[in-house]
Chain A
Amino acid sequence: MAVLNEEQSMLRDAAKSWTQEKSPVTAFRKMRDSGVEVGFDAAAWTEMAEMGWAGVIIPEEFGGSDFGYLSMGLILEELGRTLTASPLLASGLGAASALVLGGSAGQKSEWLPKIAEGTAIGALAVDEGAHHAPEKVALAATKSGAGYYLSGTKTFVLEGLAANVLIVSARTSGKPGDREGITLFVVPADAKGVSRKRLALADSRGAANITFDKVEVGADAVVGEADKGYPLLEKVLDRARAGISAEMLGAAVQAFETTLDYLKVRVQFGQVIGSFQALQHRAAKMFTDLELARSAVEAALTAIDNDSADVPELVSLAKAKMGDVFHVVSNEMVQMHGGIGMTDAHDAGFYLKRARACEAAYGSQSYHRDRYARIQGY
């Protein structure tokens, strides 16, 4: 655990006690069983917003606390532990980052206060296929008078169904795959021509495909600079990637600790199975990898707070390492629990499903290994 300042310790402690008391895994199970379409409990989200969590990276002048990304990561880590479903990552980190980093004064004052107080939910509408590929943008933004028409489809938009406002990557020139010619837009989700379809995913969280049918936006909807949106998009995505890595860290640590507790109570062959060296050494290996992953995740969040030049490589490092570790730990959680781990009544399946959804979000391990190597020049 990184060395924390006073604000960070307080935030972490508040997040820890709230998730343990108000949002244990049973709350996630209840949410799933309820079949609520947005994929989170609205009352819980209201409580989170009241504690100021949605405004942690938003400047004070727009109603946030500006505590930074490591602080946001600490909250996400605690939420990850109990698999708490909420739009915090998509809205308070993803969409908020886009507006903080690239938004005009008008865009900031229109949306950031509402995002900070949780009354508006933002989402990043970036991908258009089964794999994360932020440069493969086909969704067209066609000039029309002073503004644009947006036409195309975005896939797997996290919290896309609940969102009130969307940050949309669109093509204003060039072809899919080009980094030039991408422009970011801020689009109200209730704009004429926007239609959303809920995706029912294994992890029971909120996601949607969103179609834009000649959605008319003004020139003032452009976030940052037209045609030159890719570097901004990368900065926003790196923040979302670091944030989801923090959530994954919390979930993986909890999956490990739950498994460890089971190893200490489950008796077979006349002893607790945790006394078997075959399981002990796998546990020691997982502990080792979790420690390495924690270092990588905290280093990435800290680099973002310091605005260092190596943010992209540190983020890819963290997402790749964290993805590998959560993958293994979630598999071992099922395996070491044996038959009980296969049942829906047990939590192991929730962690396993969430692991794969997080791995795929904002770039899998193979995406980030490749990106890391490219950044390093090989």
Chain B
Amino acid sequence: MADFGGNDLEALRSEARTWIEANFPADLKGRPNPMMREERSTPSAFQEAWRKAMGEKGWGVPTWPAQYGGGGLSAAEGRIIQQELARAGAYNPIGGMGVMMFGPTLLEYGTEAQKQEHIPKIVKGEVQWCQGFSEPGAGSDLAALSTKCEDKGDHFLINGQKIWTSGAQFADWCFCLVRTDTSKKHEGISFVLFTMHQPGVEVRPIPLIAGNSPFCETFFTDARAEKKDLVGPLNGGWTIAKRLLQHERGGLSGGGGGFGGGRGLVDLAKQYVGVDDQGRIADPDLRTRITALEIEGRAFQQTAMRAMMESKGNSGPSAATSIMKNAGTQWMQARAEITLEIMGHQGLGWTGDDFTAEELGAVRGWLGGKAFTIYGGSQEVQSNIISKRILGLPDLTQHT
């Protein structure tokens, strides 16, 4: 499969199409990926069958090495698999933090025995992982973490607390940053793995306004990690953590959609609000505001394009880059607001068969999206950065 030739790609496409047709249960066609839902229910027989089929095939992680059960494909070939899944209305049932962050990191830093033990279970979707990184006193300053890890001869003993642990309530295993040396900051951190299914681990989900609890508080009281589950050298965890965070950011920028995803506002408005005899959205006020938002979104995309061209050209880093977070996140929130308005009462459904998946998704997305202007540097912090670093406005001084 090392040949990138078009014929081979087309052969793979044809193979993928046939295989998906034979293995993807028709009942699941166009259904959302249960991995993407926060409330996990027991998977249906169809969902289980599809996960097992994809797990055996290795196509959930098409570019991972075949020796650990992955697809063993090139990036170009991997895209063919993605395209054919999308074409068939099929979701990828293999995902989560094991796929996005931990797997690639372990493939890079793990021993052969660690890879043999952990990677195949991720490939098959049998084990879900969570990330024990942030602590109440270690957010942006992650290396200030204090969760204690003691060497007890044949095992490690772990005591402390993590927060914003995504998916901890569904996780089977945790990849965790712990302090193994209190005399040094970065050089006193180790990267360990342990099972979440043990008495010393307590998970408390944090309910959010969207009705989900994607994050947890996680407490460790004499939790146990095996010696063989230390990744990398003792006190050498920070290097691995930094590499893993690169995988995290890569995953975040690739996913989430936002600008391309979902149906357009115009399509939605034509359906829910209707059109007048000239084919215009029937509510003129709504039409105007949709138009303004469409224009704004397109100007944002033009700016992303311009920033890219400018950074490729000789003009150095583009000033346009600094505005992207606020402009983009505020646009996405405005889009979510107007989507709800277009849907009217149908856009306020919380659960149940009276609402389409698109409608239920809209209300949850609207609420969940309120986080966009809070995380990754709040919009106020971003405005401060623009004011001070780009515009050169001074800090406030104390006055009498």
Contact A292 B380 (CB under 8 A): no
> Which one, A283, A321, A377, contacts B387 given CB within 8 A?
A283
B371 at the interface (CB under 8 A from A): no
A14-22, A157-165, A192-200, A267-275 - interface stretch: A267-275
A-chain residues with CB within 8 Å of residue B291 when the two chains form the complex: 369-370, 372-373
> Which one, A271, A287, A295, A374, contacts B391 given CB within 8 A?
A287
> Which one, A271, A275, A288, A372, contacts B295 given CB within 8 A?
A372
Among residues of B, the one whose C-beta sits closest to the C-beta of A257 is B391
> Which one, B270, B298, B312, contacts A317 given CB within 8 A?
B298
- Chain A, 247-288, contact with B by CB distance < 8 Å: what is the 0/1 string? 000000000000010011000011110111101110111011
Contact B397 A271 (CB under 8 A): yes
B256 at the interface (CB under 8 A from A): no
B-chain residues with CB within 8 Å of residue A264 when the two chains form the complex: 392-394
> Which one, B303, B309, B326, B387, contacts A280 given CB within 8 A?
B387
CB distance from B268 to the nearest CB of A (A): 11
Kindly state the separation between the CA atoms of A260 and B392 in the bound complex, as whole angstroms: 9
Contact B266 A291 (CB under 8 A): no
Among residues of B, the one whose C-beta sits closest to the C-beta of A296 is B299
> Which one, B294, B314, B326, contacts A288 given CB within 8 A?
B326
B1-9, B14-22, B191-199, B274-282 - interface stretch: B274-282
B319 at the interface (CB under 8 A from A): yes
CB distance from B250 to the nearest CB of A (A): 26
> Which one, B312, B382, B395, contacts A275 given CB within 8 A?
B395
B203 at the interface (CB under 8 A from A): no
A119 at the interface (CB under 8 A from B): no
Kindly state the separation between the CA atoms of A284 and B391 in the bound complex, as whole angstroms: 8
Q: Give A333-362 interface residues, CB cut-off 8 Å to B.
A: none
A263-B393 CB under 8 A given contacts A2-B309, A369-B291: yes
B-chain residues with CB within 8 Å of residue A321 when the two chains form the complex: 295-296, 299
B383 at the interface (CB under 8 A from A): yes
B-chain residues with CB within 8 Å of residue A263 when the two chains form the complex: 393
B252 at the interface (CB under 8 A from A): no
Kindly state the separation between the CA atoms of A293 and B280 in the bound complex, as whole angstroms: 26
> Which one, A277, A281, A378, contacts B266 given CB within 8 A?
A378
Interface of A, secondary structure class, is helix
> Which one, A260, A269, A292, contacts B299 given CB within 8 A?
A292
Kindly state the separation between the CA atoms of A8 and B296 in the bound complex, as whole angstroms: 28
A298 at the interface (CB under 8 A from B): yes
Kindly state the separation between the CA atoms of A272 and B298 in the bound complex, as whole angstroms: 37
Contact A295 B386 (CB under 8 A): no
A-chain residues with CB within 8 Å of residue B40 when the two chains form the complex: none
Number of interface residues of B (CB under 8 A): 50
A-chain residues with CB within 8 Å of residue B320 when the two chains form the complex: 291, 294-295
CB distance from B379 to the nearest CB of A (A): 9
Among residues of A, the one whose C-beta sits closest to the C-beta of B284 is A370
A126 at the interface (CB under 8 A from B): no
Kindly state the separation between the CA atoms of A288 and B326 in the bound complex, as whole angstroms: 8
Kindly state the separation between the CA atoms of A301 and B294 in the bound complex, as whole angstroms: 20
Kindly state the separation between the CA atoms of A5 and B46 in the bound complex, as whole angstroms: 59
CB distance from B224 to the nearest CB of A (A): 49
Contact B394 A275 (CB under 8 A): yes
A3 at the interface (CB under 8 A from B): yes
Contact B391 A260 (CB under 8 A): yes
A-chain residues with CB within 8 Å of residue B49 when the two chains form the complex: none
Kindly state the separation between the CA atoms of A343 and B155 in the bound complex, as whole angstroms: 78
Kindly state the separation between the CA atoms of A295 and B280 in the bound complex, as whole angstroms: 28
CB distance from A77 to the nearest CB of B (A): 15
CB distance from B303 to the nearest CB of A (A): 4
Contact A288 B299 (CB under 8 A): no
Contact B299 A280 (CB under 8 A): no
A283-B279 CB under 8 A given contacts A292-B300, A369-B295: no
A-chain residues with CB within 8 Å of residue B309 when the two chains form the complex: 2-3
A309 at the interface (CB under 8 A from B): no
- Chain B, 370-394, contact with A by CB distance < 8 Å: what is the 0/1 string? 0000000000101110111011111
A-chain residues with CB within 8 Å of residue B387 when the two chains form the complex: 277, 280-281, 283-284
Kindly state the separation between the CA atoms of A373 and B313 in the bound complex, as whole angstroms: 34
A-chain residues with CB within 8 Å of residue B393 when the two chains form the complex: 260, 263-264, 274-275, 279-280, 283
Contact B288 A293 (CB under 8 A): no
Interface centre among A295, A299, A320, A378 (most CB of B within 10 A): A378
A288-B396 CB under 8 A given contacts A296-B302, A317-B298: no
CB distance from A318 to the nearest CB of B (A): 8
Q: Give B305-346 interface residues, CB cut-off 8 Å to A.
A: 305-306, 309-310, 312-315, 319-320, 323, 326-327
Kindly state the separation between the CA atoms of A274 and B312 in the bound complex, as whole angstroms: 33
A288-B279 CB under 8 A given contacts A263-B393, A270-B399: no
A378-B270 CB under 8 A given contacts A270-B399, A275-B396, A295-B302: yes
- Contacts A/B (CB < 8 Å), 18 sampled: A3-B313, A3-B314, A260-B392, A269-B399, A275-B396, A281-B383, A283-B386, A285-B383, A288-B326, A288-B327, A291-B323, A292-B296, A292-B299, A294-B306, A295-B305, A296-B299, A372-B291, A378-B287
Known contacts A1-B315, A287-B386, then 13 further A-B pairs from the complex at CB < 8 Å, ordered by chain A residue: A264-B393, A271-B394, A277-B387, A280-B384, A280-B387, A280-B393, A281-B380, A291-B323, A291-B327, A320-B295, A372-B294, A373-B294, A378-B269
Task: Give the 9 A-B CB pairs with smallest separation, nearest first.
Answer: A3-B313, A280-B387, A295-B302, A284-B386, A295-B303, A288-B323, A284-B383, A270-B399, A292-B299
